[in-house]
Amino acid sequence: MRAHVVWPGGEALLVGADRILDIAEGGQGHDELQVRLLSVRLQHQRPSVPAECLAHGDSGAAEQDVPAIAKELGILGLGQLRVECFYGPLERVIVLPYLVRRHEGCDVRSHDFIIDMQMRALRIVIALAVVFAGLLTWNYFRTIPAASASTSLPVQTVIAGEAPQLPWPSIGSAAMGVSGLGAIATSGNEQPIPAASVAKVMTALVVLTDKPLQAGAPGPALTMTGDDVQTYQTDNAQNQSAVPVREGEVLSELQMLQGMLIPSANNFAQTLARWDASSESAFVDRMNQRAKALGLVNTLFADPAGISPDTVSTASDLMRLGMAAMKLPVFAAIVQLPQVKLPVAGVVYNVNSVIGKAGIIGIKTGSGLQTGANFLFAAAVTVSQHPITIFGCVMGQPTLAIAFDRAQKLISALKSGLSVKREIARNQAIGAYATAWDQHSDLLSTSDVLLVEWPGMILRQQLEAPALAIDSPISPGTREGTLHITLGDYSLDIPVVTSQQLYPPGRLWRVTRLPGN
């Protein structure tokens, strides 16, 4: 049995309305009973049967099992239904437990029901608001994502162009390079051979490191002893390169270096070694330590003058040694002198007779009776109006004259393939910071980068910029990274700075940001 319930604004069906009929008409059977819905209070448990129902013999109302049909009928809820029956002479208000469901698309509603549902909705809204506020608070105080940097430069670039063919010697070995760039090319057998007098470059480097000289200063005085005179006599008797000295003669450190490097006096190298390290063997240890520090892996020194055939090296190692020595202004000034005057020996001349030719400004010759002629050289040239120093070494040449000729041809050929290019300009944007809240700042180079380039070499550029946790404004011009540039042996670090102000995120962004930001 079911009752048709009407009220302002809608209608519905009452499930189990037979109880109402029994009470209203003493059990007379009616298929439908029109009642007026006064209130519906939905609950989550079955209510107790009110006294009015029990007074009319409705004890079974409390036992009515209505939830069983809830799933089938599409129940809205279980509750107490307050109805006013107006069928027949009996008009009475009763309260019975019934289920209310939708009927013909209308929702069951009454004034009290709407208020109750509004309260429930309000409680739900408040609960959701509390949860939402908690989520917003949590979102606000989450860690702000760091701003990461990106680069606009290629990681590596091959220098364009075609390298010229270098006129390498047909015998022996050779190496060519450029100041800063390092070695460019080598030729021949790179097996170590006697370095001869080129070893004196390391002797000068060690002495000037242990006892530095200021440009133009003579330095400490050395008084020649009987041992120094004996050393000269022995070397001279063996037809070695030697410069005469006299016992009691006073020579400055500068003069000793000049005598060793210009006329290539073996005895001056030996005297300097004893003066610097107390003994030649101790000094040789220092020479080998310095060779190791310079990365001269194929070089071994057995004496300070290069007399011993066990003092060996390669063209590449000697060229690297020459690059290190020429960084010392005093050394560079000495080796380009064509001659010098000494107290006893008088005027002595530079064995390097091609000083000034093809831009040659040094460095050292070396000759052995069985191993041929060696020439370690440096040349000052101009490329694209920029001064450049070319370095090279030829070893094992038949004569010193051939070594000189080959060096000049190599210098000319190498120069033709060099170029100078501005790879980075000052204030050039080489990268950028970008934040999750749409802040942006370029990273600017703080200086120009001019590079001497040789075709085929690889230019490497790496931007190192830390991720920024921006909790306070970062002003324009703030250093926030370094650009590392490498080309051959040349490396350079350029500071980079921000171009624009970077601000922390605003409150709105912090509370509304999506996960991951």
| 3-state DSSP of 78-131 | EEEEEEEECCCCCCEEEEEEEEEECECCECCCCHHHHHHHHHHHHHHHHHHHHH
Long-range contacts of 134-143 (CB under 8 A, 24+ apart): 136/511, 139/510, 139/511, 139/512, 139/513, 140/507, 140/510, 140/511, 142/510, 142/513
- 417 domain residue, yes or no: no
Of 463, 422, 467, nearest in space to 443 by CA: 463
| Token reading at 145 | 């994502």
Q: Do 205 and 314 reside in the same domain of the chain?
A: yes
Decide if pLDDT at 140 tops 90.
Answer: no
pLDDT of amino acid 27 = 37
Distance CA 267, CA 259 (A): 9
Looking at residue 278, its amino acid is S
Are 57 and 90 a contacting pair, CB within 8 Å?
Answer: no
pLDDT of amino acid 395 = 97
Of the listed ranges 80-84, 259-263, 490-494, 506-510, the one predicted with least confidence: 80-84
> Could you report the per-residue pLDDT of 265-288, keeping only the tens digit for each?
999 999 999 999 999 999 999 999
* Banded pLDDT at 58 (limits 50, 70, 90): very low
**DSSP single-letter state for residue 208:** H
- 406 domain residue, yes or no: no
pLDDT of amino acid 117 = 62
Distance CA 294, CA 384 (A): 31
Q: Do 265 and 304 reside in the same domain of the chain?
A: yes
Long-range contacts of 4-10 (CB under 8 A, 24+ apart): 4/32, 4/33, 4/34, 5/34, 5/35, 5/36, 5/37, 5/83, 6/34, 6/36, 6/37, 7/36, 7/37, 7/109, 7/110, 9/109, 10/106, 10/107, 10/108, 10/109
> Could you report the per-residue pLDDT of 456-471, keeping only the tens digit for each?
999 999 999 999 888 8
Decide if pLDDT at 92 tops 60.
Answer: no
| 2 phi-psi bin (left φ>0, alpha ψ -120 to 50, beta other) | beta
β strands within 138-181, DSSP E: 148-151, 156-158, 173-178
Decide if pLDDT at 16 tops 80.
Answer: no
Q: Do 371 and 443 reside in the same domain of the chain?
A: no
Q: Do 341 and 437 reside in the same domain of the chain?
A: no
Q: H/E element holding 201?
A: helix 200-210
Beta 221-223 vs 250-252: how paired, if at all? antiparallel
- 128 domain residue, yes or no: no
- 11 domain residue, yes or no: yes
Q: Do 439 and 342 reside in the same domain of the chain?
A: no
Give the whole-number percent of the chain exceeding pLDDT 70. 77
Distance CA 308, CA 284 (A): 12
Decide if pLDDT at 44 tops 50.
Answer: no
pLDDT of amino acid 241 = 95
Are 202 and 328 a contacting pair, CB within 8 Å?
Answer: no
Q: Do 41 and 178 reside in the same domain of the chain?
A: no
CATH of the domain at 249: 3.40.710.10
Number of alpha carbons in the 13 Å side-chain half-sphere of residue 339: 6
Q: Do 388 and 457 reside in the same domain of the chain?
A: no
Q: Do 354 and 252 reside in the same domain of the chain?
A: yes
pLDDT of amino acid 169 = 97
How much is the average pLDDT of 346-353?
Answer: 98
How much is the average pLDDT of 316-337?
Answer: 98
Q: Do 221 and 270 reside in the same domain of the chain?
A: yes
Q: Do 383 and 434 reside in the same domain of the chain?
A: no
Q: Identify the domain containing residue 368 by its residue range.
A: 173-397
Domain count within the chain: 3
pLDDT of amino acid 116 = 61
Q: Do 310 and 250 reside in the same domain of the chain?
A: yes
Decide if pLDDT at 55 tops 80.
Answer: no
Looking at residue 250, its amino acid is V
- 33 domain residue, yes or no: yes
Distance CA 231, CA 225 (A): 10
Decide if pLDDT at 99 tops 80.
Answer: no
> Could you report the per-residue pLDDT of 72-91, keeping only the tens digit for each?
334 344 444 444 443 333 33
More confident residue, 33 or 251: 251
- 410 domain residue, yes or no: no
- 450 domain residue, yes or no: yes
How much is the average pLDDT of 496-517?
Answer: 87
More confident residue, 144 or 387: 387
- 143 domain residue, yes or no: no
More confident residue, 509 or 72: 509
Q: Do 155 and 197 reside in the same domain of the chain?
A: no
3-state helix, strand, coil in the chain (%, to 5): 30, 30, 35
pLDDT of amino acid 26 = 40
